Amino acid sequence: MSTAKSNKVLVFKLGLAVFVMLGFSYALIPLYKSACDAGWLEVNRIDENNPYANVNHNVNTSNTQVDKSRWVTVEFVATANDKMPWKFEAQEKSVKIHPGEMTNVLYNVVNPTGKEMTGMAVPSYSPALAATYFQKVECFCFTQQKLGPHESRGMPVVFVVTPDLPKDVSTISLSYTFFEVKPKSAS
């Protein structure tokens, strides 16, 4: 085989390898998803109190002792993500409660668009350490919310601020951000 010809063959093979590897980078996504689904990437959480491990299963309902010696102000912040057209607000700006008291608040959400949409709310707390003491019994953020065209809904959050909340925390802000859940997402 002449050099020119064998050069061509080799260039073709190496070029093919480049495209295979480019394909491989995209193949990593389903691979990553399978690895996640199979639990290979899950961290073994020993800390039962970690509220992020699994919000649904970590609510400790046995502790309902109310600490009437102090008040805690819980503020509610509601935001819709930039790309999310829903109108989203809390019915009350804030409530004053005792630690240990079971409390029920409502959020309003409206889908102003003419099409059915699905959304998911993601909570965050300020100060962040309050997250550990903020236990939700029921929350619209546990599941995805589907709203028809122009539908509106009142959504509940039932929560307890546990009495072991550090004494220096007197105000907790609970903030929800609504994101749109696209029907077909990457993974």
Per CB under 8 A, contacts with another protein among 154-183 are 179-182
CA distance 111 to 147: 6
Which of 37, 38, 42, 56 touches another protein (CB under 8 A)? 42
Please state the closest distance from residue 1 (CB atom) to another protein, in A. 10
Cα–Cα distance, 7 to 90 (Å, whole number): 69
Q: Rounded to the nearest whole angstrom, what is the least distance from the CB of residue 9 to another protein in the complex?
A: 10
Which positions from 61 to 100 touch another protein by CB under 8 A, shown as an x/- string?
Answer: --------------------x-x-----------------
**Closest of 26, 39, 44, 58 to residue 133, by C-alpha:** 58
Binding of residue 46 to another protein (CB under 8 A):
no
Strands (E) in 94-150, as ranges, are 94-97, 102-110, 117-126, 134-139, 145-147
Closer by beta carbon to another protein, 44 or else 61: 44
On the 0-12 / 13-18 / 19+ scale of CB atoms within 10 A, 135 is: buried
Binders of another protein among residues 103 to 142 (CB under 8 A) are 122
Note whether 10 binds another protein by CB under 8 A. yes
Q: Is residue 124 classed as helix, strand or coil in its secondary structure?
A: strand
Within 10 angstroms of residue 61's Cβ, the number of other Cβ atoms is: 9
Residue 34 sits in the site that holds another protein (CB under 8 A): no
Specify which residues 122 forms β-bridges with: 177
Q: Which of 38, 43, 57, 149 binds another protein (CB under 8 A)?
A: 43
Please report, as ranges, the residues that interact with another protein according to CB under 8 A.
3, 6-7, 10-11, 14-15, 17-19, 21-22, 24-26, 28-29, 32, 36, 40-44, 81, 83, 122, 179-182, 185-187
